[in-house]
Amino acid sequence: MKFQVLDIIPHLKNPLTGDIVSTADRLNQVVQTAQRAEELGYDGFSVGERHAGEFISSSPTTVLAAIAAVTERIRLQTGVAVLSVLDPVRVAEDYATIDQLSRGRLELVIGKGNEVLQYPLFGLDLDHQWELLAEKYELLRRLWREENLTWSGRFRAPLTEPTTTTPRPFDGPPRIWHGSATTLTSAALAAKWGDPLFTANAIQPRENYHVLIQHYRDEYERHGHDPKHRYVGSGSGAGGVFIADTTQEAIRQFGPVYEALTRNRNVPGNNSPFRDINHAVAEGPALVGSPEQVVDKILSYHGLYGHDLQSISLPTTLPFGQQLDILERFALEVIPAVRAAAPTTLWEAEDPYGLRPEPAVPATSIQTRSTLDYAR
């Protein structure tokens, strides 16, 4: 299995202490986390996109460009790029620029987003969200694959003059994943085009996501695509990852923060059924517990989903040094065991995108670094 760190960049007070970092510090923490994730052997780093609520991720392209400038190997992803509200021409230009800056490390994850306030903000009708996504994705695909393109559609002004977006991607069109939080529509769109699927695995029982993934696989086969490239990614809930020596200690330390955050209607997870930390640990996707407990949970989900890429999110209201401790401990005590038990061809030689860039360095070979080296 491969591992990605996702930050949708919520900007929140610690619900117990009231502490909050400045906007500049929070954004720089994202870049520093990506640097450390690369050092620890994570495979990818993903930046979310939100245009409403207590988030500062309205410009993921800027943040990813900053990360590209200070990293060399780690894959750069979105989580998700809200293509439904964006102009595909601008998306093609911006993300191809990141692909060039990173020398081919970009993989885009697209979706319609799950924040309804984004649509009126961009002058769009929420009732058209799925049609917007499908049309804009088809145009984006063509912009990255064709030159001197003319095009017309329902929701965007036509390209009446031959159009070639610049820059072109680094080494052919980057791979595009489709993110899905609750519905089958994105899964069906991914399957139609033979693209990989990224399931949020956040706000519904795991059985519902299993249905979504199975629908994707059935549709993928129906469209006649090669099953060896049918990759699936999975999130890990809205609560983030938290590791302690024992699961009881993890619950004791993180439980009050988790429960206070999920009571807040303006943060991720506010519509999650897993309000209580014990419920989230026992039945939800939250990766909270001892290293052994977290390994067992990921492999349990893998047994149901068969996923190739596991996404984790840090508890970003905690002190930054503590976040980096968790990132390191997950890399050293969880990732090696899961990799050994759940191999994948994703980003390996068998994968058409597997040599863009070099494979990850195993976390066990990374020299640890004191989190005192990083700003709190």
Q: In the predicted model, what is the mean pLDDT of residues 157-164?
A: 98
Residue 11: predicted pLDDT: 97
207, burial (CB in 10 Å: exposed 0-12, middle 13-18, buried 19+)? exposed
Residue 77: predicted pLDDT: 98
Q: Which domain does 304 fall in, by range?
A: 2-373
Q: In the predicted model, what is the mean pLDDT of residues 236-256?
A: 92
**Residue 233: enclosing H or E segment and its boundaries?**
strand 232-234
Per-residue pLDDT tens digits for 65-99: 999 999 999 999 999 999 999 999 999 999 999 99
Residue 283 has pLDDT above 80, yes or no: yes
Whole-number Å distance between alpha carbons of 120 and 81? 17
- The CB density around residue 107, as the number of other CB atoms within 10 Å, is 23
Percent of the chain past pLDDT 70, that is, above it, reads 91
pLDDT-derived band at 181 (thresholds 50, 70, 90) equals confident
Positive or negative torsion for Cα 79, 180, 40, 250: positive
More confident residue, 113 or 376: 113
Per-residue pLDDT tens digits for 33-64: 999 999 999 999 999 999 998 999 999 999 99
Per-residue pLDDT tens digits for 184-199: 999 999 999 999 999 9
Residue 182: predicted pLDDT: 81
End-to-end CA distance of the chain: 31
Per-residue pLDDT tens digits for 340-354: 999 999 999 999 999
Distances from the Cα of 17 to the Cα of 76, 260, 322, angstroms: 33, 11, 15
Residue 129 has pLDDT above 90, yes or no: yes
Is the omega angle on the peptide bond into residue 319 within 30 degrees of 0, that is, cis?
no
The answer to whether residues 169 and 145 touch, using CB atoms and an 8 Å cutoff, is no
Residue 275 has pLDDT above 80, yes or no: no
Residue 365: predicted pLDDT: 54
Give me the amino acid identity at 234.
S
Residue 370: predicted pLDDT: 44
Domain CATH code at residue 294: 3.20.20.30
Q: How many domains does the chain have?
A: 1
